[in-house]
Structure formats: C-alpha cells, structure tokens
Structure 1
C-alpha cells in the first residue's frame, strides 16, 4: 500500500507539472499569436492607408474614382508583399473597379472608406486570413513541446532519486522557471522577427512604388515627391522613426519623425535590398519592441503568480512526509480544495460582468437589470449560509462539500446556454448556493482538525485561499479568454469542479456533533437556528457600537468588494476596450493587497486591543481609491486608465485589509465574553447583505449619476462614514470588556 501511495504521488506530481508547463506554453503561444496578428494587421493597414492617401489626393483634385488610372500598380503590392492578404477590392457604389483575385476565399474583411471633398466616393476592401500567421507561430512553438517533455522527464528523474518535501518543491520550481524563461526567450525572438517582417513588407511596398521609375532608368534624384511618399509611411506607422531610400549607393529620399529623438532609433534599424539595387533602411522607435516585450513579461508574471499559489499548494500536499500528522494532512487537502473551488468562480471574474451586460442588453433590458442579475450569486450565497451551517451540525460535512462542488460546476456549465436569460438567473443563484455549501463544509473541517499547535495556521486558511484563489483565477481567466473564448472559460470552470469532486473523495468523513432521531427533528433544528439568528440580530441591532461597525464599515466594505471590484471595474474597463489580461491584472492587485495587509494588521490589532483607527483609516483609503478610479476613467489614454485603476484597486485592497478582520475584533470588544461567538456570527451574517446589495447600489450610482460622478459620490459617502465612525465611536485605546 505504501508503494502504491508513493507511485500515486509521483503520478499526480507529473500531472501537476505537465499541466503547469502546458499552461505556460499556451499562454506564451496566445500572447505571441496575438502580437503577431496585431503587427501584421498594422503593417497591412498602414500600406492600405498610404494607398488611401494617394487615391484621395486624386479624388480631391476633382477626378472621379472610376477614372483613376494605375490602380493595379497601387493596390496589387499590398497583397503581393504579405501572404495574409487574400484579396483586395475597390468599389464605387455597386461598381467594382478593381479586384486582386476572382477566387472565393473566406477571411476577415476590412473596409476603408475613400472620400473626396464632399462625400464618400467608394471603399477599399481587404480580405485577411490568419492562417499564414498561425502557421509561422505553430512551427516555432513545436520545439517548446519537446522542451516540456524533457523537463518533465528531468522532474521524474529528480523525485525518483529522493521523494522528500524539499526535493518536490525545488524540482518543481526549477522546471517551472526554466520553462518560463525558454518561452519568454522564444516570444522575444518572434516579436523581433515580426518587427523585421513589418520592415521587409514596408520596404517591398516602397520598392513596388518606385519600380516604374527604375524600369525606365529615370534618375530618382529628378523625381519629385519621394520624401513625401516616405513621410506618408511614417505618418501612418507611429512606431517608425525614419525611412531612407538608397539607389546605387546614393541616398535619394529620406524622412524622419521630428517629434522624437533619432539617437535611440539607431538601435532598431533594418535594411532590405531588392534585385534592382534599391535599399530601404527603416528605423523603429525601440520603445515599441520594449513595450511589447514588457507586455509579455507582465502576462508571464501574472501567470507565474497564479501558478505559484495553485501549484505549490498541491506540491506541498504531494510532497508531505510519511509521518505527517493526520490533522495537518487533512488541512493541506482542504487548503488545496478550497483554493481551487474559489478559483472556479474567480476564473470568470474578468469577463463575467461584461458577459451579463451583453446578455441583458440583448434581451432588451436596462443596465440596472445586469446589476440585479450579478447580485443573484451573492444572494444565493447569503441565504444558504445558515441552513448549510445547521445541516453540518448533524450531517457528514464531506457530503455537503461534494454537493456544493457539484452545484458550482453545474452553475458554471449552465452559463454556456447564454441565449436563455432565465437559465443564467438560475445558474448564478445555484453557483452562490454551491459556494456557500463549500464554505461551511470547509469551515467545519478546519475547526475539527485544528488544535493549539496549528490553530493560527488553520485560522488563516480561509483568508489565504480566498485571496490566492481569486488571484490565480483572475490571472488564468484573463490570459485564456482570448484563446478559448468566454464559453471555454465557463467549461474550464466546470471541469475544475469535476476535478475537485474527485479530489474530495480522498477527504475523511466528518460527521456533525449532533444526532437526530427523525427527519422532523432536522426541520425543527433548522427552524430553531433561523429563529436564534433572528433573535440575536434583533438583540445586537439595538447596540450602537454594533450598528456603527455594520453600517459605517463592514457592510460598505462588502458592498465595494462586490459592486466595485467584481462588477463595475471589469465592466467599465471592458467598455473602454481594455485588454482582458490587463483587466485581470487590475483585479489581482486588490486580492494581493488584501492578503498582504491583513497578515500585517491582524497581529497589531491583537496587540493594541483597539480597531477603531484601523477601521476609520480603511474607510478613508476606500474613498481615496474611488476618487482615483473616477479620475482614471476621465483619461483618454488606455495606459493611464490601466495604471490608475491598478493603483485604485491596490489602495482599496489595502483598505479592506485594514477592515476585514479588525471589524470583528471591534464588534466583540463591545459585548460580554460569553456573547463573543454569537455576536461575531450574527455580524458576519448581516454583513453578507452588503455583498448582495453591492452590485445593485453601485449600478444605481453609476447609472443615475454617470460613471465618474458615481464613483465620486460613493467616495464622499465612504469619507462621511469614516468621519462619523471616528467621531461617534468613543472607545478608548484599551477597551474594557463588560
């Protein structure tokens, strides 16, 4: 049996490493393909834009479009110099004036209007295909699969020599980092290659333009407008710093971007010569390549962070020592399972608000309906907490956990059928119910399997797994959505649920500490639990300290988390056409800040015994973050929007790190010691209604006042709450228990 366990651990270790390396290759492939397509399309459209400028110059002189001569010489080079161009058409109304090929070809059609002084005279249509680009990238990434196989073999060899915890962690880290560096190196080479290809394409189009002059053996120095032709290319290609045309060793034309320094451009200069003796020298602004490389590095940094949380949780489980106590083994399993179930939901976070908005708009409903629909998940979560907690008192927590996983997986899978709004309504509610059941079952496992030796570790599992799972899920969802689509993300979420369903079978049974003789007793217990919670709520709601903590701090914080972080921010950034990976990055910073600040603040609060200043500071920082994101959305620069939104989420995460745990400390400091448990449980339950109302209230603010003003109004409310909390709460530095 011991040998079987060892072999099983090796097998799952190989599976984990294989999935991690595969994810690195997939993300690198997707980023490269995306950048390659963008570079190629930009080059083609730049050539088309130059052709458009030439045609419109003639149109503005009064010549009708159908009377313009030399269209073949002007347009054919666009298709001749790039295999991605399948066809070119020039039309005027219903009349086709030029067609590159008469073959019927499928592809992406780009239409460019052509105008004279008074109206649109026609259009230039270009049919593009991604197949040639995909073929190039596919052939380059084939070698990465072999590299992955070699690294997997090295991992197996390493852990076969010694199956210790440190060996698992070191081997995995080395393999993961090596694969990441290999893919980054390949992506860098391909990006540089795509820039070179763009330079060659531009050089070819320039050579085609001057070919008639060279064929007639006219001295290029006598031809007027050569510099202007090069200037047109620079005007339509912002990344080009300068263009120089040399014929027979003599420079005949030159144009440069006078707004930027040309010194650095010498570092990214490409020369291309043809059979006629023409040489075109093209210099790019080096920051273009650097910006693309940094974008790729940012994506891999996001990926590495997500994989680090997920993989190291499982690696630690797989690399556990033979004599590890059973309690620690169960907690390690619970940590991995909870992290992955949180990841199931957060995988959809970067695109779910936009998806819901699109479905609601397609059904003919207003934007407020989208916020109501988004809140159904949190409503399902909230109303399930108490019944699930009572059921866990007399049922096997593993069965509750498995049921919750299945409900969450079904909820994710149902979103694929997005044409039915009613299905989405049910799916989101069911997902909330499932996640609440998982939360309660995990909580029971943690309480049962923790003791004085691992009490601190056990208490931090839920906080760590929620934030780490959110970071990983947002990272994976943002990076993969462009490749597998929104439906693919929903399917992946469901598949993770299936995997966690299987994983949960390895958990031990965890029966509740109460036994009931018949089914009616179960109902009475549930009814009693609801009645008790209602009585506790009624009792504490008349206490001013409890009300201040709930309405001035706790509920607004939860409202901002669901309404701003999960709903409004991804939605408004998507409406600005911000890339999905950038949206994921923005959301990740929130969870990272919460995770970091919570760990630093909690010991200080415990030491001082006072949480008032922390809560007030959290509210003020929340207000600052809302002001920043409101200002960010007023900017016309997408880069500035992303930077400021990231800063805003970082500050909001820090603010919530100052609130999440200290607010419970503040509540229980104002009740007798015997009531601490009931007060904390009642507060946490009532606080959840901030989750439910978050998207609705934030949606109302931004719909009624406008996006930017809505955020400013919310900031004013949070600042007022913080001020009132500071002025009205008269606790001293060292609070005295009654």
Structure 2
C-alpha cells in the first residue's frame, strides 16, 4: 500500500509538468500540421492548375475560332481530363453565370451554387510572372475558393480577340484528399506523441527521487530533449510532405504538356514541323513554374525541341550526363503511331527544391521558437511552485514570502501574456482598422497614435493608485479592462467602437505595466534590481515574438474574431491567478511613511526636482528616448518599409525577429553583469556604442534589397538587438538610483521615466520618415544616424560625479 501511495503521490505531483509537456507537444503537432496543410495545398493547387491547363487551352482554341462557349462541344474535352491522379471530384465549365458542363436535365441554372464557396486569394491564387514589370498587372492564373468540405480552383477562360474573360473552369476537390495525405505522413508523429508522454511518466517515476536539489535542471533538460525530438521528427515529416507536393506538381505539368502534344498527334500533325510553337509553350511553362529549369522533347533519343537552341539535334544521353547531378527528371510518353513516338523530359533543379524546403522549414522553426518561449515561461513557473511546496513541507524556509526569486517568477506570466495579446493582433490589426473605417484616411495610424498617448497619460496615475492599493487589485483591474477591450472586437461592431476598444486596451496595458513594475521593485533586493527589470524586457519581447507568430497562425484557422476571443480566453484566467498566487503587499512602516510623504509633494515641486537632476535628464534624452526612437522609428517602421521593401514578408518578419532575439539574449547577460558590478553607466555606454555601430553596419551597403543573403544587414540587426539588450533593463535600474529618485520615490520616478520614454515611441516614425525622405531612401543615411547615436553615448558617459548615485 505504501508503494502505491508513493507512486500516486509522484503521479499527482507530476501532473502539472506532464500537462505542460502534453500541451506543448500537441501544439507542436498542430502547428506542424497547419504548416503542412498550408504549404502542401499550394503545391497541390498548382498541380490541379497544371492538369486543368490542357482543358483550358483546348477550350480557348475553340473560343479563338469565334465559337461561343455555350455552343462548343466541351463535354468531350472535359471527359478527356484524367481526374483520378489529382483527386478531382468534379469539373464544371461556366459561361458567365450559366453552366455548360455538366449539362443539367433541367433548364440551365444560375451560379447560386448548392454549396457556399468563400474566395481565399491567399491560397495559391496569384502567380507572378518574373518577366513582368511592376507597372503591368499581375496575371491571375487561377483562384482558390473553399467551403466546409471542398476546395474549388477557378481557371479563367479568355479569347485572343479582346482578352476578356469568356468563362471559367471550376475544378472541385474534396478537402479529404489533402487531409488524408497529411494524416498519412503524420502517423509516426502521432505515435511519438503518445510514446513521449508515456516515457516521460516512467522517467519521472523512476528517477525523481535521485534529483534532490537538481530537480529544476533535470526537468528543464528532459523537457527540452522531448521538445527537440518532436521538432526534429516534425521537420523530417514536413520535408517528405513538401517533396511529395513538389514532385506531384511536376507530374501534373508533365501530364498537361503530354496531353496537349498528344492531342496534336491525334490530329495527324507532325510535331517536328511545329518546334517553334512547342518551344514557346515550353518557355511559358518554365516562366510560371520556377522549379522547372529545362524541358526537352525527344524522338528516338534525339532532341527535337528545347528553349535552349544549342541542345537541339543533340542526343538525349549527352544531355542526361550533364543534368543528372543537379536535376530531377520526370517524363511523359507521346505515342503518335506505331512508327512515331515522342517523349517529354522535364528537369526540376534540385537547388530550387532545396531553397523552397529551407524557406518552409525556416517559417516552421520561427513558430516553434515562439512556442518555446511560452513553454519555458510556464515550465519555470511550475518549477517555482513545486519548490515552494517542497520547502514549506520540509520547513526549509521559515518565511516563504521573503523568497525573492520565487515571488518574482510569479509575476512573469502576467506581463508575458499581456504582451502576447498585443503581439497576436500586430500582423493584421492596421489593415483590419482600415477595412472597417474605409471612409477615414489614416484611421490605423490615428488609432496607434491615440493608443500611445492614452498609455502614456495613464502610467503616472496608475502608479499612484498602485502605491496606495497594492499590486494585486490593480493587476486584476488592468487584466479585466484589457480583456473587455478585446471582447468588444469579437462582436461585428461599428468602426467607432474600435477606437473605444483600443483606448480601453491602452488603459488596461498601462495599469498592468504599473502593477508589474511596482511588484518587481518591491520584491527584489538592492543587488537584483537590473535582473528583475529584465523580466519586463523578456515579457515584452518574448510575448511579442510568441504573439506575432502564433497570432498569424491563428488568423488562418480562427479568423480575426477567433484571435480576439482567444486573447480573452487566455487573459481572464490571470485574474484568478493573481488572486490566488500573488503574495499580499507587506506593510513596511518606514517605507510606507516615506512613500506617503513623497506622494504629498505638489506636482510642480516634483517637476522641479526632475528638471534640476542633470543625470536623470541625460539618461532619459540621450539614452532612453533615443533608443525607443530607434525601436519604433527604425526597427518597426524604416526597416520593413524602406530597407527591406524588396524582400518577402516572411523574410522581413524573421529579420526583425533577429533583433528581438538579440535583445532577449543580451538582456540576460547585461542584467546579471549590472547587478554584479553595481554599475550601469558603462553598460549603457557600451549599449549606445553598439547601437550606433549596428545602424552604421546596416547602412554600409547601398544595394541591400539586391543582395541574395544580406550579411551586413543580418549582422547589423543582430548587433543592434544585442546593444539594446544592454540598455533596456540597465536603464531602469539607472533611473531609480538617480538623485531625483531619492527625493520623489522609485515608483514615481520610474513612472515619469516611462511617460517620457513614450516620446521616443511616438516621435520615432516621424523622425525616421523625414530621414528617409530627405536622403532619398538611401541606406547610407543610417550610417549618419549611427554616428549621432555614438555621440549621444559619449555625451552620456562624460559627466559630473554628482549626476547620479548609481554609476
């Protein structure tokens, strides 16, 4: 019985860790499947288009002859299309709103279809022709629509006379075709998920008693191993799915070309007399399929058609020797008669496939990194709670409320999830606002500006309320306000309420920030101020990274309202969390009297103290505001809009993520170094030097958008992030140890600093937009900005010894 009780006790104690592991691994699987469906669908729709292209060309040849679509014999042509390999369930041919195939027994019915299809242009709908210039419209090769059960690929039919759309081929595919393919490949992932949980249970039961004081290390290490194993397995699975999709698309192109040439043979045409037309057909096919680099038509081992004139007349064997190492080959047979047959050979460039694989895997890794931030946060929280229980049971700590590290770990999820909520809407909210407020120019920028102003104005009053009421109640209030602001957006509302929602969100975020900042300052010792300030840096940057990545993923599956509701669902439990777990405010009589006496100061007297403190002013204007101007004006505005305008959207997001990663990693080191040395001036100075050097490095190349792999840009963004990590946390410690802080209180000076810091947030886009305009968008301008930042750092470094207490 004792053995069973011990096992049950271990199992119960392990439930939180097992729950987090199961949730994280499950989200990994869901994220992997979501990425697989998204990417594989694009390849699959390309294959459907390739299969339908032969039918499209046959029908358009009839239209070009002047025959109206409704009088054409499309039944015979449509029946020639092989539906089975691609999983096509139905083909419809439309003449405007009238269906011409399949013929209905009743009168021709209108396009108020039996099934509601919603147009989704994001799913492979637009194909870009590399030979087209920006001034010419992009050719829409096909559009993809979806319903609850099916996808529908619409291929427009045009005639050469007026190039107007004369009809549509609608190819309907069941969603099961794609979902079954994904499920087939993911079956090994499902098995590993179950096995991993079972093995982890056995691991905890068998080894937990040996861990003792190394419990945190063992749990973290084993969790990371399980996470990495699942990640590796999913990546391996995705590679196989992507290869399947790419090869399937290539086979579709091969079948399409084979069918078109076979139709010409059946008409008795000699293909060798039409090699110029065939060459043009091959050229168009290659221009719309970037993976295909060469198409050869051979007869009896001799090449008769190719876009490369040098290869015509040569033997296929000689070309195969040259191509076999760098290309993957597919082929289709064309039998014209007993004595005449041809073969199409399509060569897909391996490097093109590898580049697509790397890009898709890179996008997936970004999502996993975001998920890892969330997992690490809650694993750390569970470990702290577990240690608290064990230490209370064993009477290892007489007064657990004095245990600083434990109390600080409790506040981390609150600020992380607050930033996570804002990150979730970052990718789509400006466009959402502009869509809802279509009649107002600049509605999105107006809301963003108002948000910053309200947030700034709410900080100081919120700090005053916190000092009187305590953090627990103010945090609950802030969470409730923010949750309500998101709940408003869930409902399909008038655009005016979006303004109300964002104003409430600004107040809620300001209240949460004031509560978190007060809690951190009150529960940390003098030697851990910077380390604790780094919690805010981690919470903001980690929450934004995780929110931006997972929010964009959720948008594809839940829609905008679903994302807003998800934020509410995640945020509201924090109220219960705060009530149950956050410790009560301790009444230190001496500190309480001191704070109250400071609060009685008139605001004019407070303003006078702040203005006369040269050390405070230098810290704010030379370091704090300038750093925030670079963040809002350069990282979030100039970098994506001006410098990275020639890059793909996912590349832009990942380059910006390098900045945030640099901030997070260096904040860990800089916070520990600040507390160890007891000085922040030198750390802030080196942060300013690095910030200037990073900007100069980014601007060192005048053709950034033309570089395939921008080494200077990547290095500059990384250096800028690392440098800001040496500023964001130490500046808070530096501010609360100035002479002004000794007179008006740490909470008050911290709130004043945050208010002034917001000037940089608001001014950044304005300043950098002018810099870009005056310098005609040349990156060299950022070299000059970097020099100015370095000068600011030198001015900050050079000063009187009496400027601040904390050097």
1:555 maps to 2:555: no
Counterparts of 1:703 and 1:359, CA distance in 2: 29
Counterparts of 2:551 and 2:88, CA distance in 1: 29
SS in 1 for 2:293: strand
Structure 2 match to 1:174: 225
- The 5-angstrom pairing of residues 74-113 of structure 1 reads 80=83, 82-84=86-88, 86-89=90-93, 91=95, 99=101, 104=113, 106=115, 107=117, 108=145, 110=154, 112=156
Structure 1 match to 2:410: 333
Which stretch of the first structure deviates more once superposed, 656-665 or 196-205?
656-665
**Partner of residue 610 from structure 2, selected from 536, 540, 562:** 540
Structure 2 match to 1:593: 662
1:498 maps to 2:498: no
**Partner of residue 378 from structure 2, selected from 305, 314, 320:** 314
1:137 maps to 2:189: no
Structure 2 match to 1:660: 728
Structure 2 match to 1:359: 436
Change (3 A) 1:115 1:708: farther
1:269 maps to 2:335: no
Change (3 A) 1:430 1:96: closer
1:477 maps to 2:551: yes
Q: Deviations over 1:259-289 (max 9, x none)?
A: 9996366542234569999765432111232
**Mapped contact 1:593–1:650 kept (Cα < 8 A):** yes
Structure 2 match to 1:10: 14
**Partner of residue 148 from structure 1, selected from 165, 183, 193:** 193
**Partner of residue 453 from structure 2, selected from 373, 379, 387:** 379
Change (3 A) 1:546 1:700: closer
Q: Deviations over 1:495-539 (max 9, x none)?
A: 211333343344143225379xxxxx99xx999849555533333
Counterparts of 2:797 and 2:32, CA distance in 1: 56
Change (3 A) 1:722 1:198: closer
**Mapped contact 1:573–1:583 kept (Cα < 8 A):** no
> How many residues in Structure 1 have an aligned counterpart in Structure 2?
718
Counterparts of 2:688 and 2:221, CA distance in 1: 43
Counterparts of 2:643 and 2:79, CA distance in 1: 39
Structure with more relative contact order (C-alpha pairs < 8 Å, separation 6 or more):
1
**Partner of residue 66 from structure 2, selected from 64, 68, 71:** 64
Counterparts of 2:717 and 2:483, CA distance in 1: 29
Q: Deviations over 1:470-499 (max 9, x none)?
A: 332233223433233333222222221133
Change (3 A) 1:197 1:53: same
Change (3 A) 1:275 1:34: farther
Offset at residue 9 of structure 1 (A)? 4.1
Which stretch of the first structure deviates more once superposed, 567-576 or 528-537?
567-576
Offset at residue 181 of structure 1 (A)? 1.8
SS in 1 for 2:490: coil
**Mapped contact 1:619–1:721 kept (Cα < 8 A):** no
Change (3 A) 1:9 1:630: farther
**Mapped contact 2:88–2:174 kept (Cα < 8 A):** yes
Counterparts of 2:706 and 2:254, CA distance in 1: 33
Structure 1 match to 2:290: 238
Structure 2 match to 1:283: 347
Change (3 A) 1:499 1:101: farther
Offset at residue 20 of structure 1 (A)? 0.8
SS in 1 for 2:426: coil
Change (3 A) 1:264 1:566: farther
Structure 2 match to 1:518: none
**Partner of residue 428 from structure 1, selected from 502, 505, 514:** 502
| TM, length-normalised to structure 2 | 0.74
Q: Deviations over 1:645-686 (max 9, x none)?
A: 8666545434433443555677689x6497487589536524
Change (3 A) 1:195 1:659: same
Counterparts of 1:601 and 1:166, CA distance in 2: 23
1:731 maps to 2:794: no
Change (3 A) 1:418 1:380: farther
RMSD value over aligned CA atoms? 4.9
Counterparts of 1:587 and 1:125, CA distance in 2: 42
Offset at residue 234 of structure 1 (A)? 2.5
Offset at residue 208 of structure 1 (A)? 2.3
Counterparts of 2:610 and 2:39, CA distance in 1: 57
Counterparts of 1:203 and 1:491, CA distance in 2: 46
Change (3 A) 1:630 1:396: farther
**Mapped contact 1:333–1:507 kept (Cα < 8 A):** yes
Counterparts of 1:610 and 1:458, CA distance in 2: 19
**Mapped contact 1:568–1:699 kept (Cα < 8 A):** no
Counterparts of 1:527 and 1:264, CA distance in 2: 83
Counterparts of 2:498 and 2:358, CA distance in 1: 38
Counterparts of 1:399 and 1:736, CA distance in 2: 37
Which stretch of the first structure deviates more once superposed, 424-433 or 22-31?
424-433
Structure 2 match to 1:489: 563
Runs of 5+ unmatched residues, structure 1: 516-520
SS in 2 for 1:116: coil
SS in 2 for 1:270: strand
Counterparts of 1:459 and 1:665, CA distance in 2: 7
Q: Deviations over 1:200-251 (max 9, x none)?
A: 222322332244466678876677555554444333322112334567x756
**Partner of residue 42 from structure 1, selected from 16, 21, 46:** 46
Offset at residue 548 of structure 1 (A)? 4.4
Offset at residue 727 of structure 1 (A)? 7.6
Change (3 A) 1:575 1:427: farther
